Chains A and B, each alone.
Chain A
């Protein structure tokens, strides 16, 4: 078995394009939010109004308009992030140069805008008006396929659809295949777009943060007053390759992927989080056992906590159950900045593993005695040796990855 390492990060989100833009947003704890278009009539009058949208991101440097016109929004986001990641991984990594490159991308909702447009056309104008272009770009694996075409990645092409756990499942799969030597490198990550319809439906499920007494909508991870998450969109793609090969070509090794694993909470409802923290903690411990690690050896948690009432509760209880009587290490909750979906947490986790500075957790002010988690309040993190990245999904799935400083 070889060792899988991360040598490149590409990210697009409401924070802008690239690792530097993301790092600045995380350092300053600044969430860029905008009003969601409500003109479609999908929203209820008192619904949430904002999201961390990536609509303003200028992707032309990575996706020429002549190519982008044949892509759905998620495909463009994914291709841009993949090219950013390959650029960072070094000039000697054109994907088709040697060996096989795998693509593993996660998406929660797929190309939602194209699917909606196609269905609207079918319903309003009849099925014979359906556009073949919209159809081919509305399949969930369109972004992964477009990345393969753009980067000439001829290895396995895999799309994971497991909501909030998908990005970590994708990274685990990529690391597993690189470590096993079945592929030379992998482009792994997540992509999602948030349409007004997606926003409205999430709101109807009471998943989104609502306007508070202080005004505005705030995601408040782990806070007792949390009322829901900030939905985001964007893409994050990592270059994962063999450590020896990366060192041989003097590539920047950002993090080692030390462990990965997943579990399921069968008490979860179809759309929300359950209360099965004990089995999830056992699954997390099994993952650590397989890697020869104990919770005490983890210096930092990059939590998937988002401000979700049930999701944060399950996250906190799972962490406490896994750590037992030991205190938790520092806990980050980057989704308060980057939003839920679109891979922002994944890219933030790699930055955390490299020792990046994180500002205080936005929205956290009131301790929740049920959760017993005080997320990072800002200041230096001390260069963590090992970082646990956690992703618990509505519906029951869960995934974890341990990143290690090289």
Chain B
């Protein structure tokens, strides 16, 4: 397996972009992750007075004034805007610029709800008698909206795919980009995900009693649910040869990916994390790595009682004793659960950890769940000067699991 991994085209990360409750841009995300403070709190995105809970991880107003808005900007949904901003930021860091049409480039994107926030507004106005709402509110309602908006903005002519497998979508998009680079279909991939807060998901997760009334506390003993967030994470992936040929700086390598399905329940994870374990095992094999090579884990870590236990059980099954030794963090403790884009944003956070050689803390306070024998990174960043490889996991509704192995390029 290791030799097979060496023979394939390799995919390196040359650019990062992000929008989150920490702010617009990777710098804001990096500062937020290092701060040890949660960005989850009161929010304004919609009127939530009648909802059960009242916190979320809302992105601040944006984009920043220096960002050049295109002519179509005003017609974009909020999720589209997050996506376009993050994609341009990532592309800028990689040293590339639109149009990408003459390059063998593709867009591999994820979203769980697309422009549902705007669709809700349309529907709310459509129901009562009276003037019909403007059709443009529905113009970006489709789930493929953010990915298509990025492709149009960058004038991409290669493959464009949107994946929507709930909370694993972002990681699936990266996995699809990796496959396209390995196969030679593209040399360059803009891969990521975007989602905005909306009322259906907020009410829906509340109907499952899966939302914490306070900011989420992944892996803590008193955790009581997740916190919903919004934003986008984008990575520019290139074949190693393509990146080297143009002198691009490689931030990390996407060395492997693996997917699986619990095939047992629509919402509850497999209690022993069997599907998660399979995804991790497949990702490690794909990367040609053993459990001992993993230096930290960016866990899915939602903060729901069932998920965190099942996820760690899956990690123990896949990593063996290493699961209890390896530093573990959850980005959701800082920026909440970005649903379809969470896997992409957490991949951005994982690359930052590899670049900065530190694992960001998981805010939340309180004792780590004694049933979860994880080496959770608590209130301050943990230096990992020798870190060369990290694992990022995404576990979704429907039992859909994806694991990514990111490494420092060797």
Contact = CB atoms under 8 A, between A and B. Distances in A.
Interface string A29-64: 000000000000010000000000000000000000
Contact of B157 (A135, A137, A266): A266
Given A161-B142, A163-B142, A154 B267 contact: no
Interface stretch (B60-68, B145-153, B229-237, B353-361): B145-153
Contacts of B75: 270
Given A123-B124, A140-B112, A395 B148 contact: yes
A122 interface: yes
Nearest to B206: A127
B249 interface: no
Contact of B101 (A110, A153, A266): A266
A161 B144 contact: yes
B139 A271 contact: yes
A169 interface: yes
A205 B137 CA distance: 12
B212 to A, nearest CB: 16
Assign chain B's interface to a size class: 35 or more
Given A135-B204, A264-B160, A290-B185, A123 B142 contact: no
A266 B151 contact: yes
Contacts of B112: 139-140
A127 B51 contact: yes
B278 interface: yes
B201 to A, nearest CB: 8
A265 interface: yes
Interface string A142-178: 1011101101111111111111000001000100110
Contact of B143 (A161, A182, A276): A161
B157 A142 contact: no
Given A144-B398, A153-B261, A270-B145, A120 B162 contact: no
A127 B157 contact: no
B224 interface: no
Nearest to A116: B123
A126 interface: yes
Given A108-B142, A122-B200, A149-B263, A158 B398 contact: no
B142 A159 contact: no
Interface stretch (B26-34, B176-184, B307-315): B176-184
A262 interface: yes
Contacts of B207: 127-128, 130-132, 135
Contacts of B206: 127-128, 130
A138 B126 CA distance: 20
A131 B140 CA distance: 26
Interface in B152-170: 152, 154-166, 169
Given A158-B259, A395-B144, A149 B264 contact: yes
Which residue among A110, A127, A290 has the maximum number of chain B CB atoms within 10 Å of its CB? A127
A271 B141 CA distance: 10
B397 interface: yes
A142 B266 contact: yes
A396 interface: yes
Interface in B248-273: 259-267
Assign chain A's interface to a size class: 35 or more
A136 interface: yes
Which residue among A102, A159, A169 has the maximum number of chain B CB atoms within 10 Å of its CB? A159
B19 to A, nearest CB: 20
Contacts of A110: 143, 164
Contacts of B275: 154
Nearest to A271: B139
Contacts of B179: 176-177
A128 B112 CA distance: 22
Given A139-B112, A162-B161, A283-B158, A119 B120 contact: yes
Which residue among B152, B154, B159 has the maximum number of chain A CB atoms within 10 Å of its CB? B159
A173 B106 CA distance: 15
Contacts of A127: 48, 50-52, 199, 202-203, 206-207
A115 interface: yes
B135 interface: yes
* Chain A contact residues: helix, strand, loop or mixed: mixed
* Chain B contact residues: helix, strand, loop or mixed: mixed
B256 to A, nearest CB: 11
A402 interface: no
Contacts of B163: 158-161
Contact of B135 (A157, A204, A265, A268): A204
A328 interface: no
Interface in A367-388: none
A156 B261 contact: yes
Contact of A145 (B101, B176, B199, B398): B398
A157 B264 contact: no
Contacts of A154: 260-263, 275, 278
B52 A140 contact: no
B399 interface: yes
Interface in B172-197: 172, 176, 179, 183-185
Given A127-B206, A135-B208, A271-B139, A145 B260 contact: no
A280 B158 CA distance: 8
Nearest to A169: B161
A329 interface: no
Contacts of B267: 132, 136
Contacts of B259: 102, 155-158
B400 interface: yes
Given A145-B261, A157-B259, A169-B161, A266 B52 contact: no
A144 B203 contact: no
B204 A264 contact: no
Contact of A264 (B158, B164, B169, B266): B158
Contacts of B399: 145, 148-149, 157
Contacts of A139: 112, 164, 166, 397-398
B245 interface: no
Interface of B: 48, 50-52, 75, 99, 101, 106-107, 111-112, 114, 120, 123-124, 126-127, 135, 138-140, 142-145, 148-149, 151-152, 154-166, 169, 172, 176, 179, 183-185, 199-200, 202-208, 259-267, 275, 278, 282, 286, 396-400, 402
30 contacts: A103-B261, A108-B142, A109-B142, A116-B123, A127-B51, A128-B52, A130-B203, A132-B208, A136-B208, A144-B165, A145-B397, A146-B398, A148-B398, A154-B260, A155-B260, A156-B259, A156-B261, A157-B260, A159-B169, A162-B144, A163-B144, A176-B179, A262-B106, A264-B151, A264-B156, A266-B154, A270-B139, A270-B140, A270-B149, A395-B142
Given A134-B204, A160-B161, A268-B152, 15 more contacts: A119-B200, A120-B127, A130-B204, A148-B261, A149-B266, A154-B275, A157-B260, A158-B165, A161-B143, A176-B179, A264-B107, A264-B157, A276-B157, A290-B185, A395-B142
Give 5 nearest A-B pairs by CB, closest first.
A145-B398, A156-B259, A135-B204, A127-B203, A157-B261
